[in-house]
Amino acid sequence: MVDANSAWSDDFEDRSLDSWIVTRGVFSAEKKTLWAYGTRESASNRVYHECNITAGRWSFDILLNQSWHWRYHPPAVRFMVDSLDDVLWHGYVLDFYTLARSGKDILAVYLRVNAKSWNYLSHFDFDRPVYGWQSVGIERTSTGRITIYLNNSRIIEVTDNSIEESNYFVFDSEDCVQTVFDPDTHTDKFVKAQVSPMLDNIVVSEIPEIIDTNYSTSFGIISSIIYGISIAIIVKMEFEKTKVKSSYEDEL
């Protein structure tokens, strides 16, 4: 289903993935959400949706599972991705890690960019487990300011302009398979498959001119408004003075 107020949206109520392109694994919308199931042949599951937004908002709900452990790969949402190539692509990545800390698991959200090379941009660690459905929002301005929200709370804010093109929005569900490191082959060995995290209620909106909320920009806007008002007052005063003068000369 498409929201008329957005560039595109999908709530999967029709159980259809007709507008999505699967390049790895097997995805389904039969549960009215976007999800994948791992197989021995495919530890990584990746699905693309066309999206040319570079300044705007990407929002979605993601289901975080309590059974995750650090042995699993994290699910990720990729935005402003340039190509369908699973190896040579570029874009921004929002990873949802489950990390072991002092005997308990916590959630960590990482923002990275894959441009000419991989670069870490910022992250946020929670001091408690976060499970269940979470609401995520991503905003990017035309100046490259990226803001990440989790359940309406701002958790990350950073500026980056290393990616300028956008062709796809991507759900990368790599935690569908549990593996262990095999010291004999120095590779990850398949243990079992599991149902992936889920994505739902995706809404993408193009907002060409999102105003940065930093002080200098706000001050500049306020100054411009004050300056405009001042000019208008001066013009009005001059008009009134001319009007009074003309009226006085007519009486003479």
**118 and 38 Cβ atoms separated by less than 8 Å:** no
Q: How far apart are CA 40 and CA 19, in angstroms?
A: 27
For the cut 90, the answer to whether the pLDDT of residue 184 exceeds it is no
Is 36 inside any structural domain?
A: yes
Residue 9 has what pLDDT?
A: 96
In Å, how far from its chain's centre is CA 81? 12
Whether residue 242 has pLDDT greater than 60: no
Q: Are residues 126 and 48 in the same domain?
A: yes
3-state SS, residue 191 = strand
| Band of pLDDT at residue 132, cut at 50, 70 and 90 | confident
User: 183 and 219: one domain?
Assistant: no
Same-domain pairing of 162 and 113: yes
> Can you tell me the mean pLDDT for 205-221?
55
More confident residue, 9 or 244: 9
Q: Which regions of 35-152 does DSSP assign to beta strands (E)?
A: 35-36, 45-50, 56-64, 75-81, 91-101, 104-114, 118-125, 132-140, 145-150
Indicate whether 248 pLDDT > 70.
Answer: no
More confident residue, 118 or 129: 118
Task: Work out the pLDDT band at 174, boundaries 50, 70, 90.
Answer: low
In this structure, the answer to whether residues 107 and 227 fall within a common structural domain is no
CATH of the domain at 13: 2.60.120.560
Look at residue 126 and tell me if it is in a domain. yes
Range of the domain at 242: 214-252
Q: Compute the mean pLDDT over every residue in the chain, rounded to the nearest whole number.
A: 78
**DSSP string of 132-153?**
EEEEEEEEE-TT-EEEEEETTE
**202 and 222 housed in the same domain:** no
82 and 189, same domain (yes or no) = yes
Domain count for the chain, please give it.
Answer: 2
Is residue 21 within 8 Å of 171, Cβ to Cβ? no
Among residues 49, 58, 242, 223, the alpha carbon closest in space to that of 140 is found at 58
C-alpha span between 92 and 90 (Å, rounded): 7
Q: What is the pLDDT of residue 105?
A: 67
**Residue 112 covered by a domain:** yes
Residue 105 maps to a domain: yes
Same domain? For 166 and 224 the reply is: no
Among 222, 251, 228, 205, which Cα is nearest to 56's? 205
Whether residues 225 and 103 share a domain: the answer is: no
- Same domain, yes or no, for 161 and 232? no
